[in-house]
Amino acid sequence: MAARIIDIATDRALALTEASARLGEGLPIAIPTETVYGLAADATNPAAVTRIYETKGRPRFNPLICHMADLAMAERHAIFDPVSRLLAEAFWPGPLTLVLPRRAESGIHDLATAGLDTVGVRVPRGFTSDLIAAFGRPLAAPSANTSGKVSPTSARHVAEDLGEKLSLIIDGGRAPVGVESTIVKVEGDRVRLLRPGGISAEAIERLTGRKVERQEGLSGAIEAPGMLASHYAPGAAVRLFAAAAEPGEALIRFAGQPVAGSEAAKAVFDLSPAGDLAEAAAHLFDYLKQADATGAARIAVAAIPDEGLGEAINDRLARAAAPRDT
């Protein structure tokens, strides 16, 4: 049976009551966040969390981000150091996840944290934080896609991938940020970037006055176990830093930069003709899907600047291009 889709622009109150009802039954539902669509379930209910993994076809249990209605709710589940609190006050609601020690009395289930004594928490913008406030419990939510696939930035993306496996998809329009949250872990004087995302490392450095420590290459896999090297993968092969497009490839470029051979490409997508990296991030996953849908055997991607949100874009592209297990 196909999922019911409720558009919050049409009936926000209905979306809130139906979403709360399904969550109360222990069912996972698709929710809009500012980063990507999430597959959300009650983080305190082990059966509900198990259904997230089943629905995604995730091969194993990874720690999931637990979404909170606000900072006060997050403080009931996690212990904040001063730098993490500064970050939360500056960037919440928004695309920042903080990895923090979990409070002993937090009801968040071990299946949501993969048994770690830490928990990844964030407060999303908009409908989802209202839903969490109404529901009253944190929501564990990875991106609402089959494991290993490109993350969804629209309700249609979710419906095409998981529509048959879900009872409810809440449509909040196109996800404005378009890449997942930045994951940060503060350890004493160190501010560690576990995953680049919708808040730039530079913005974190300006606020904290500290240099952000990055992971080596794609070794995020070790500290953030959900970050397997091959991830965000379209069906087509992905070729990075393309100086020229080869015949039959689909081409993704940036800022109107000329790329030799583009006339022979199957299709050309410009992430942001104006050269705006925030706009490019918002388009990234949708254009990867569209490039894939052209049937091209390979997607060539021209170089994208690595500063600001470009760091998150390049991280996701590197994962899309990484050697596949299957």
Binding residues: 35, 58, 62, 67, 118, 122, 141, 143, 151, 181, 195, 232
Angle, nearest 10°, between helix axes 277-293 and 155-162? Answer: 30
Q: Is residue 41 part of the contact set for ligand TXA (CB under 6 A)?
A: no
Look at residues 320, 321, 325, 326 and name the one whose alpha carbon lies nearest to residue 149: 320
Question: Contacting ligand TXA (CB under 6 A), which of 27, 132, 193, 227?
Answer: 227
Question: Contacting ligand TXA (CB under 6 A), which of 29, 99, 251, 277?
Answer: 99
Instruction: Using alpha carbons only, give the angle 96, 100, 106 rounded to the nearest 5 degrees.
Output: 110
* Residues forming beta bridges with residue 4, ordered by sequence position: 168
Of 199-207, 225-233, 279-287, 307-315, the window that binds ligand TXA (rule: CB under 6 A) is 225-233
Both structure tokens of 265 = 């490409």
| Cα(242)–Cα(195) distance, integer angstroms | 25
The binding site for L-threonine consists of 35, 67, 122, 141, 181
Both structure tokens of 264 = 């022979």
CB of 102 to ligand TXA, least distance (A): 8
Where does residue 267 rank: exposed (0-12), middle (13-18), buried (19+ CB within 10 A)? middle
For Mg ion, the closer of residues 58 and 103 by Cβ is 58
CB of 36 to Mg ion, least distance (A): 7
Question: Contacting ligand TXA (CB under 6 A), which of 8, 15, 36, 199?
Answer: 36
Q: List interacting residues with ligand TXA (CB under 6 A).
A: 33, 35-36, 38, 62-65, 95, 97, 99, 113, 116, 118-120, 141-143, 180-181, 183, 194-195, 223-227
